[in-house]
Amino acid sequence: MRVCGIIISGLGYEDGTSIWDVAYVLKELERCSAKPLPIVPRISVEKLIPGPRRKLAPERDFLAEAKLMVRGEVFYIDKVDAKEI
């Protein structure tokens, strides 16, 4: 069985990964007999932008948001070994 990594970057319209997209990709991977490996970043990319362009949004928990969509186990991107995918 092949393992396929899926990067999920938040939840919501114009603010992250679409729930419909995740559901479709997970269904298609299941149909193709592949095992999905949902992975999320620890921090938002906007937090890394220097200066006044930085987004002043509150801190988000991508892991919790992804668990709502996947309804299963989700891993941080820095904890996944690239050889597993």
Reported confidence tier of residue 56, pLDDT bands at 50, 70, 90 = low
Any idea of the CA torsion for 85, 71, 62, 27, to the nearest 10 degrees?
50
Rounded Cα distance between 40 and 37, Å, is 10
Neighbours of 11 (CB within 10 A): 19
* Tokens read off for 47: 């937090």
Angle between helices 19-31 and 62-70 (to 10 degrees): 50
pLDDT of residue 46: 62
pLDDT of residue 33: 92
Domain of 65 in residue numbering reads as 2-84
pLDDT of residue 31: 93
Q: What is the CATH number of the domain that holds 72?
A: 3.40.50.880
Does the pTM exceed 0.85? no
Reported confidence tier of residue 32, pLDDT bands at 50, 70, 90 = very high
Q: Which residue has the higher pLDDT, 8 or 12?
A: 8
Q: Is the pLDDT of residue 36 over 70?
A: yes
Q: How many domains does the chain have?
A: 1
